[in-house]
């Protein structure tokens, strides 16, 4: 008898490590756990971080990566949603002809939230279309609600005096929205709205979250009333889908440094894959605050905001743009090295391996969603210092809904001033020593248990089962 062919899924992420990493991880999971064939289109990128990631991947048979051609897009300075969306648009012709010439054409298409224009390709080949949303269900609902808001609200969002009532969750404070929402003519806003309007072309939306993390949101999503107000297709929690730690401890300077320290004694400091960074002035205050706290720290520094370029190379060559010696006080670097209390690395660090290390007991984080999931899975409490995109909404979830983080004062509470060193010192001590830190850590460990069991195959975890059910449909 003929063996039924494996379903073949084409996946279209956007550039940016925060989008690519979960796409790669979902692809691997579909192939190795669920026996699906996957073709993933990899955006052209020169960054060494991506190259390292790809070369370290053990690609299971059944997962094919197709590199997209480099694009002549010069203006990297635009809002991130614009940059990501245009990159996808410019790649569609290539993707279309690649699918047209495939020996075993894909029948299912999974695209990023900024890649809904690829639905046109799905339609051309009669594919079943899905979205993989690389943030949480609350943010998805908020963005899904945007087309309706856009009609109902006349002025700018920034002028609203009341929090925005989003069905199914706590009202969203205007202060917790990204800058795009302050200007409805901005490219960032227009592109978000454009994609949100296309969300309901998908047969379903996969979200990198788990039901127990956002129980209220999921009961609302299952209750038809929410969906009457927000035109979203069925939403499936399939996460947390994050990278597993790789066994690289012997070669990596961060991990060998961590090996020297007792459990839960080091604060990890990182602001993500490079979309935004701190101002030069703020960076110096952070350096001083960390030193004042007298806690051990491992800090991955990116160049200050005025020097950041999207998709910058992550290599920290000495004298290069990522070399911390170029923008952190020399005295500070000398002192912390001398005392052995801190380690500063420029560019890129193996974040998952670091968060998984026993010595790490706290994470000062920009609250990108992948970083958030990684700290949940590894049980590390957070000092939330959100910068842009949906990070402020994630920070609210961690502090107010889940109680596993403390949040630094927001800019309006500081009157726009930089966060002072004493305030930073206070937050660091709060999480790293004393009872409040212990309480945060133990609540975080409870979330860890929920996260791990939701993706467990044997235990019939909710995320595992959601994905398995979807794939069953693809096999029909
Ligand atoms: N990351 C890493 N090393 C770094 C910086 C980031 O491995 O030095 C990884 C991090 O573990 C996460 C992703 O890059 O998986 C960043 O995604 P996130 O959503 O947290 O933030 P974004 O970069 O999108 O702002």
Give the pLDDT score at 3.
Answer: 58
- Ramachandran region of residue 342, left (φ > 0), alpha (ψ -120 to 50) or beta? beta
Give the pLDDT score at 46.
Answer: 57
Name the residue with the closest Cα to ligand 1, atom 2: 351
What are the C-alpha distances in Å from 276 to residues 3, 156, 301? 49, 24, 12
In the predicted model, is pLDDT for residue 169 greater than 90? Answer: no
What's the CA gap between 109 and 150, in Å, rounded? 28
pLDDT digits (tens, 9 = 90+) for 45-91: 656 667 777 777 778 889 999 999 887 765 555 678 898 899 999 99
Give the pLDDT score at 73.
Answer: 63
Distance (Å) from CA 371 to ligand 1 centroid: 6
What is the per-residue DSSP string for 55-96? HH--PPTTEEEEEPPP-----TTS-HHHHHHHHHHHHHHHHH
Q: How confident is the model at residue 440 (pLDDT cuts 50, 70, 90)?
A: very high
Q: How confident is the model at residue 248 (pLDDT cuts 50, 70, 90)?
A: low
What's the CA gap between 472 and 167, in Å, rounded? 31
Name the residue with the closest Cα to ligand 1, atom 24: 18
Q: Which two tokens stand for residue 362?
A: 């706290």
Give the pLDDT score at 172.
Answer: 92
Residues with CB under 6 A from ligand 1: 16-18, 21, 270, 272-273, 275, 300, 348-352, 368-371, 374
Give the pLDDT score at 119.
Answer: 98
pLDDT digits (tens, 9 = 90+) for 88-104: 999 999 999 999 999 99
Please give the number of the atom of ligand 1 that sits closest to the Cα of 365: 20
Give the pLDDT score at 409.
Answer: 86
ipTM score for this prediction = 0.99
Neighbours of 124 (CB within 10 A): 12
Distance (Å) from CA 51 to ligand 1 centroid: 15
pLDDT digits (tens, 9 = 90+) for 187-222: 999 999 999 999 999 999 999 999 999 999 999 998
Torsion of CA 247, 250, 256, 261, to 10 degrees: 70
Please give the number of the atom of ligand 1 that sits closest to the Cα of 53: 7
Distance (Å) from CA 54 to ligand 1 centroid: 15
Q: Of all residues in the chain, what percent carry a pLDDT higher than 90?
A: 66
Q: Which two tokens stand for residue 374?
A: 């990684």
Are residues 316 and 341 in contact, defined by beta-carbon separation less than 8 angstroms? no
In the predicted model, is pLDDT for residue 312 greater than 60? Answer: no
Give me the helices (H) in 212-358, please: 215-222, 224-229, 253-258, 280-293, 330-339, 351-355
Q: Of all residues in the chain, what percent carry a pLDDT higher than 70?
A: 92
What's the CA gap between 351 and 243, in Å, rounded? 10
Indicate the average pLDDT of the chain: 90
Distance (Å) from CA 104 to ligand 1 centroid: 34
Name the residue with the closest Cα to ligand 1, atom 11: 351
Give the pLDDT score at 308.
Answer: 47
Find, among 104, 87, 85, 105, the residue nearest to 96 by Cα: 105
Name the residue with the closest Cα to ligand 1, atom 21: 368
Distance (Å) from CA 466 to ligand 1 centroid: 26
Burial of residue 58, with CB atoms counted within 10 A of its CB: 0-12 exposed, 13-18 middle, 19 or more buried = exposed
Q: Would the pTM count as exceeding 0.90?
A: yes
What's the CA gap between 256 and 253, in Å, rounded? 5
Please give the number of the atom of ligand 1 that sits closest to the Cα of 387: 25
Give the pLDDT score at 435.
Answer: 92
Distance (Å) from CA 307 to ligand 1 centroid: 19
What's the CA gap between 54 and 24, in Å, rounded? 9
């Amino acid at each position: 008898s003929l063996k039924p062919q494996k379903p073949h899924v084409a996946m279209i992420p956007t550039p940016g490590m925060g989008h690519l990493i979960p796409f790669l991880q979902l692809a691997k999971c579909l192939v190795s756990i669920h026996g699906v064939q996957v073709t993933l289109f990899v955006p052209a990128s020169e960054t060494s971080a991506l190259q390292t990631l790809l070369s370290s991947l053990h690609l299971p048979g059944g997962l094919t990566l197709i590199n997209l051609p480099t694009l002549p897009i010069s203006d990297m300075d635009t809002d991130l949603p614009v940059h990501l969306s245009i990159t996808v648009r410019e790649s569609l012709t290539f993707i279309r002809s690649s699918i047209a010439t495939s020996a075993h054409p894909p029948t299912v298409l999974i695209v990023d939230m900024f890649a809904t224009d690829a639905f046109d390709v799905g339609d051309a080949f009669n594919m079943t279309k899905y979205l993989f949303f690389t943030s949480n269900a609350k943010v998805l609902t908020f963005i899904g609600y945007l087309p309706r808001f856009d009609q109902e609200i006349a002025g700018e969002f920034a002028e609203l005096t009341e929090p925005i009532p989003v069905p199914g969750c706590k009202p969203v404070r205007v202060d917790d929205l990204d800058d795009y929402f302050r200007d409805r003519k901005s490219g960032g806003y227009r592109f978000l709205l454009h994609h949100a309007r296309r969300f309901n072309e998908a047969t379903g939306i996969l979200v990198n979250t788990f039901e127990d993390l956002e129980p209220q949101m999921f009961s609302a999503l299952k209750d038809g009333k929410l969906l009457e107000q927000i035109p979203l297709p069925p939403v499936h929690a399939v996460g947390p889908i994050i990278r597993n730690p790789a066994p690289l401890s012997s070669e990596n300077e961060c991990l060998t440094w961590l090996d020297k320290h007792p459990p839960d004694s080091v604060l990890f400091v990182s602001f993500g894959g490079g979309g935004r960074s701190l101002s030069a002035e703020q960076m110096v205050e952070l350096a001083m605050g960390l030193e004042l706290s007298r806690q051990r720290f491992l800090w991955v520094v990116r160049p200050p905001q005025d020097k950041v370029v999207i998709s910058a190379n992550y290599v920290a060559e000495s004298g290069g743009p990522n070399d911390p010696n170029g923008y952190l006080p020399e005295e500070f670097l000398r002192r912390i090295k001398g005392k052995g209390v801190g380690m500063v690395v420029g560019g890129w660090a193996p974040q998952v391996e670091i968060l998984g290390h026993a010595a790490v007991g706290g994470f000062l984080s920009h609250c990108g969603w992948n970083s958030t999931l990684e700290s949940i899975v590894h049980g590390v409490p957070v000092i939330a210092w959100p910068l842009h995109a949906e990070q402020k909404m994630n920070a609210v979830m961690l502090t107010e809904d889940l109680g596993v983080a403390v949040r630094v004062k927001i800019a309006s509470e500081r009157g726009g001033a930089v966060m002072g060193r004493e305030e930073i010192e206070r937050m660091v001590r709060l999480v790293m020593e004393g009872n409040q830190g212990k309480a945060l850590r133990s609540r975080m460990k409870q979330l860890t248990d929920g996260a791990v069991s939701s993706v467990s195959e044997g235990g019939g975890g909710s995320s595992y089962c959601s994905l398995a059910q979807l794939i069953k449909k693809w096999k029909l």
